[in-house]
Amino acid sequence: MKPEGLKLINEEGLRVDGRKPDELRPVVMEVGVLKNADGSAYVQQGNTKVIAAVYGPREIHPKHLTLPDRAILRTRYHMVPYSTDERKSPAPTRREIELSKVIREALESVIFVELYPRTTIDVFIEVIQADAGTRTAGIMAASLALADAGIPMRDLVAAVAVGKVDGQLVLDINQLEDEYGEADMPIAMMPSLGKIVLLQLNGVLTEEEFKQALQLAKKGIMKLYEYEQQALRKKYVEIKPEEV
Ligand code: UDP
């Protein structure tokens, strides 16, 4: 239940954190943040902070999971106990198991798994601070970490959640908007191919609102895609003074 008097959109049309309805939270992205992973990335969107680590392609244990014609993808989405307001149990919850599955399915359609038969690619997503949008930040961190590991993909994945709060569609919802809003729709895409790899909807939208929400998400996704490319360029094509 929304606390009485809580306004998610004020008289000026601004949101609880001062953003306009179509504004993303401040973004930080960095590639190659962990020295012991084959690929890694950090993504921050407002107060949501996520790290992803990728290992592989490598030999599978246990062996019976091996597939003769493609790599298997194993994905773990996990929230650390100190990531939420109330301490979260470190044991995997049903929600984390579900999110690990939907993120794996999204990434499976992006990676050229057929190039690496009889191997595994392991993706670990750790949410270190949660303020909604952790699955979308997690998918982006994973896609950057996969690129950092040199794993061929059809495209990067950029993702954002659109919400409906006080009857208004808003981009990139925070926890308060997620908790007290009317709808939450996370979307992940391969932006340059225009393909959706994940779409979930919690709550109710009319058909018209759904179409508008999709457009709003696409706008945000194109911006996030830019940030992703910048983060990769920063690690891989930045010209260092000593190279000039
Ligand atoms: N959340 C929490 N504890 C939990 C699960 C979720 O505090 O056990 C918060 C957290 O901030 C999370 C938000 O609720 O980001 C929204 O969760 P949701 O399941 O919608 O996933 P997300 O938006 O993070 O992808």
pLDDT tens digits along 97-131 = 999 999 999 999 999 999 999 999 999 999 999 99
Q: Identify the structural domains of the chain with CATH numbers, from first to last.
A: 27-234 (3.30.230.70)
Q: Ligand 1: which residues within 6 Å by Cβ? A: 84-85, 88, 95, 130-135, 161, 175, 178, 184, 186
- Amino acid identity of residue 146, one-letter, is L
Q: Residue 156 contacts by C-beta under 8 Å, 6 or more apart in sequence? A: 140, 143, 144, 147, 190, 191, 225, 228, 229
The closest residue, in CA terms, to atom 13 on ligand 1 is 132
Tens digit of each residue's pLDDT (9 = 90 or more) over 29-62: 999 999 999 999 999 999 999 999 999 999 999 9
- Report the Cα 235 to chain-centroid distance in Å: 20
Contacts of 103 (CB under 8 A, 6+ apart): 75, 77, 123, 125, 135, 138, 139, 142, 198
Q: Is the backbone peptide bond immediately before 90 cis, with ω within 30 degrees of 0?
A: no
**Residue identifier of the C-alpha nearest atom 16 of ligand 1:** 132
pTM metric for this prediction: 0.96
Quote the ligand 1 centre to 130 CA distance (angstroms). 7
